[in-house]
Structure 1
Amino acid sequence: MKVTRKIITFLLIIYIEITNILTLNALAASNDSKWPKGPSVTAESAILMDVNTGTILFEKNPHKQLYPASITKIMTTLLALENSNLSDTVTYSKSAIYNLRYDSSKIYANVGEKLTVEQSLYGIMLASAGDCSNGIAEHISGSIEAFADLMNKKAEDLGCQNTHFVNPHGMPDDNHYTSAYDMALITKAALQYEQFRKIAGAKKYTIPPTNLQKESRYLTNHHKMLIKSNYTYEGCEGGKTGYTVASGYTLVTYAKRGDMELLCVILKDAATEHYTDTAKLFDWGFKNFKSLNISSYLSENQLSNYTLFDKAALKADDGADYVIEIDKNSSILIPKTASFDDLKPTFIKNYNKDTSIPTIRTISYTFSGKEVGSVAVNFIKISNSVEDNYNNLDNAEISIKNSASDVNYNKKRSISFIKIGLTIFVVIIFVSVTYLIIKKRK
């Protein structure tokens, strides 16, 4: 009997261990393996983001604090577009011109020289001019210190948590740092301005003669993936380069192919490797991901599964009828091997029950635990009638969660089949061994 007990115990241990291993493997295979494996990069920190949705496709030390060097000037340009007019006149002071290190890039503005904000921004983004950066900072805030405070306030508003600026140009300072993720947030915000895209994507620009400069200044973009070079990249639309000894090579680039626009940030890389790393990430992103329009997909395939999108009108406390409409421009970015059914929706409530009019809600989607985009839900008034609409909205949320649980149910069911098979296998072995022991004793 002791032998039989030992055998039973041994078989049970094997059963438990095998079940755990297969369960974990099945869960891992159903999630992480679906997200494409990214390339190897030499940069100390890197990130690849979808501009439209903010989805992070690739990351390496994305929140590590590092020196940004001249990609700082993206924030400077963003603030200039938000706080001044392109036709405004910037008068360059002595401090703006001489409050720079000897090795800073410049357009060599003269004390008292007048340039427009637009001309100064081309100097910043194409020539990486520190004197233009200082001139813009003083024009907007009155001093470099006050402008740095504005930079930090903007970074905080954008959700940056590992960024602190002390100057508008990015020359080294122990208290001047950022992260790849934060720079992606800053650049994404700047890309909402068409004028930023025009300036950052310009290959050349000419500043005509000014009040103190008789000759035109001819500027050429430093970004080698944008201009004709050994690193020219198809679809590259613009960006900003950076380098100091302390920071190494830094690079921000955005590129577009078809309906996808990707943003890449590289921090602390080796010479030329910042270009090859960026190209690797772009190639991988464009190859492995696709854009999916939520509105068209739902209207064609998923409408019946979502109570939220029933044709029946909702009625608010003010007596008005409402119908629900999906933002037709909303899209998400998912791996090409994935489908809409693989997504997990989360219904976000952002209405106030104290008001009588339903407001916009959002459905956020995740894939393999990663956020891949969201869609806005709008309420359109159509008539007058009195009825509480909030219960309908809550039922809609339940419906969405139920439809999303179908995929998880199928995964759990496949794991259950594995366990059942293992149980049968162990029982057969147990019966066989028991029979042999009894037969031997007889």
Structure 2
Amino acid sequence: MKRVRYSFLALAVVMLCTVVLSTPAFAIPEMSVASRSALLADADTGEILYEQNIHERVYPASVTKIMTGLLVLEKIDSGSMSLSDVITVSSSAHQDVTEDGSTQNIKPGEQMSVENLLYCALVASANEACNILAEAVSGDIPTFVALMNQRAQELGCQDTHFANTHGLQDENHYTTAYDMYLITKEALKYPEFLKITDSRDVVIPATNLSPERHFYTTNYLLSRFKIPGYVYQYAHGIKTGHTSDAGYCLVSSAQKNDMNLISLVFGAEKVTKADGTVDYESFSETSRLFEWGFSNFKLQTYLDSSELIAEVPVSLSRDANYVVVHPESSLSAMLPKDVDLDSFDRKVTIYNEGNITAPISEGQELGEITLSLDGKEYGTTKLVALNSLTQSRLLYVIYTVKNIFSHTATKLAILAVLVLIIVLIILSIRRGRHSGRRYRKSGGVYRGRRR
């Protein structure tokens, strides 16, 4: 009976250990977004917090205009264009724009500033405004589209191809959530981009061919003017998109408690509920994604620069036989709030370990440390000396002598010298004996000189 009890006890212990060992370092609620693809990232660290089919091709629709806006702002940043430049609209600017597409009815011959054209393109989603800006930047639309594709490759986009400036449906016009994230992240480097895309409504002064324009954003997270019920208080910008093939798309950013998130949702649907209400899921799912991110993550330091990592042996020092190393810089990341920071795996590498000699300078690089969690590498930083160590001259001389005599070539050279000395001694002795014999043959008496 006792054996049976012991068996059950052993089994219980094994099962408990299995559960403990298999428990992850953190636990966050599962998330699923009602869309073809979705991505949530921390804008400051670049950490991707959620991903769903982020490398799957999607049609971007008017989200395309993020790239168009980026190229215009880069042109301005280069100094060859300014926001105040006035553009005269050409007749070719409407060549691929359909009548049922988004527009602000900007006419050929109309004059408008680059800044106001950006507002038309990025807030009202006017297709013709994108073509007008494209011609201003590159001279013609095809050249600008080629520039869009070139810039996408430079940013690391591996599955993106643009066929136009605005996003109207074309089977050769596609991207991925991840690629568009790279483009958006680059565009956000320009404060003017977020300022424009964060506008709830815009007033464009009268032009030579049009009275004053007043329009509202297509982003319902920012304004309830068109459709109420979606405003998200922490949302800022960025761009909506929709075609029948692309579905409903939204790229947005949000700021809360020093956290800056970027969300991308592609291929969402407009759903009619049982009560007859309509849900534009690109907006509702984006809000839900933001809340999930804000509720479950925070910026945490998982390696502090003041932490003492290891004692590294050092020879030839008159102060100590080791030096303590610490991280050159702290490492932080957007991590689950309940993560166990002690569960990070650490890989410490000491350069030239076992052969480090004084002098050592404070802050001298002696190695590196890499931290990972659940198989994911989070960061690497150098390990540097906490203090300086001076060199002992006596120990250095002894070391140098030992080092010299440790080489085979040196030993052979010394042996050769010794052999040579011995040979010279033997020769000298033989010469001495020969001279003595000659002296004895001559009588061995000094008779003096004759006069």
Q: TM-score range by the shorter chain?
A: 0.5 to 0.7
CA distance in 1, matches of 2:43, 2:369: 19
Partner residue of 1:30 out of 17, 24, 33: 24
Deviations 1:351-395 (A, max 9, x none): xxxxxxx99x997754333465x587799xxxxx99xxxxxxxxx
> Matched residue of 1:76: which SS?
helix
Deviations 1:308-358 (A, max 9, x none): 9xxxxxxxxxxxxxx98537xx7410000114333356799xxxxxxxxx9
CA distance in 1, matches of 2:184, 2:383: 28
Q: Verify the 8 A CA contact 2:304 2:327 in the aligned structure 1.
A: no
- 2:72 paired with 1:71: no
> Matched residue of 2:23: which SS?
helix
Match for residue 234 of structure 1?
233
Q: Verify the 8 A CA contact 2:93 2:131 in the aligned structure 1.
A: yes
> What's the TM-score once normalised by structure 2's chain length?
0.66
Partner residue of 2:217 out of 212, 215, 221: 221
Structure 1 residues 70 and 130, CA, compared in 2 at 3 Å: closer, same or farther? same
Give the CA deviation at 1:58: 0.9
CA distance in 1, matches of 2:126, 2:242: 13
Q: Verify the 8 A CA contact 1:38 1:281 in the aligned structure 2.
A: no
Amino acid corresponding to residue 73 of structure 1 in structure 2: K
CA distance in 1, matches of 2:371, 2:198: 32
- Mapping 1:127-276, distance limit 5 Å: 127-213=124-210, 215-228=211-224, 229-271=228-270, 272-276=280-284
CA distance in 1, matches of 2:119, 2:293: 30
Give the CA deviation at 1:185: 1.4
Match for residue 354 of structure 1?
none
Match for residue 305 of structure 1?
309
Please identify, of 72-81 and 89-98, the stretch whose mean Cα deviation from structure 2 is larger: 89-98
Q: Size of the alignment, in residue pairs?
A: 337
CA distance in 1, matches of 2:372, 2:340: 12
Give the CA deviation at 1:211: 2.5
Deviations 1:271-330 (A, max 9, x none): 211111111111111000011256xx614xx5212679xxxxxxxxxxxxxx98537xx7
> What's the TM-score once normalised by structure 1's chain length?
0.68
> Matched residue of 2:219: which SS?
coil
Structure 1 residues 76 and 303, CA, compared in 2 at 3 Å: closer, same or farther? same
Deviations 1:177-209 (A, max 9, x none): 011111111111111111111011111211111
Match for residue 341 of structure 1?
342
Deviations 1:246-285 (A, max 9, x none): 1110111110101111111111110211111111111111
- 2:283 paired with 1:286: no
Amino acid corresponding to residue 253 of structure 1 in structure 2: S
CA distance in 2, matches of 1:166, 1:202: 28
Q: Verify the 8 A CA contact 1:69 1:242 in the aligned structure 2.
A: yes
CA distance in 1, matches of 2:232, 2:54: 24
Deviations 1:122-167 (A, max 9, x none): 1111100001011111111122221111111111122111211111
CA distance in 1, matches of 2:168, 2:51: 25
- Mapping 1:395-406, distance limit 5 Å: none
CA distance in 2, matches of 1:268, 1:148: 23
CA distance in 2, matches of 1:136, 1:108: 15
Structure 1 residues 240 and 90, CA, compared in 2 at 3 Å: closer, same or farther? same
Q: Which has the higher contact order (CA 8 A, sep 6+)?
A: 1
CA distance in 1, matches of 2:216, 2:85: 23
Give the CA deviation at 1:28: 4.5
Match for residue 375 of structure 2?
369
CA distance in 1, matches of 2:45, 2:205: 39
CA distance in 1, matches of 2:347, 2:238: 34
> Matched residue of 1:264: which SS?
strand
CA distance in 1, matches of 2:310, 2:115: 49
- Higher normalized helix content (fraction of residues): 1
Amino acid corresponding to residue 195 of structure 1 in structure 2: E
Q: Verify the 8 A CA contact 1:97 1:109 in the aligned structure 2.
A: no
Amino acid corresponding to residue 55 of structure 1 in structure 2: E
Instruction: Give unpaired runs (5+ residues) of structure 2.
Output: 1-6, 77-81, 271-279, 313-325, 350-363, 385-389, 392-451
Over the matched positions of the two proteins, sequence identity in percent amounts to 39
Match for residue 426 of structure 1?
none
Give the CA deviation at 1:233: 0.7
Q: Verify the 8 A CA contact 2:327 2:381 in the aligned structure 1.
A: no
CA distance in 1, matches of 2:178, 2:99: 30
Partner residue of 1:326 out of 315, 324, 329: 329
Q: Verify the 8 A CA contact 1:204 1:221 in the aligned structure 2.
A: yes
Structure 1 residues 284 and 112, CA, compared in 2 at 3 Å: closer, same or farther? same
CA distance in 2, matches of 1:24, 1:175: 51
Q: Verify the 8 A CA contact 2:67 2:183 in the aligned structure 1.
A: yes
Deviations 1:22-55 (A, max 9, x none): 9986664235xx2524322210111111111111
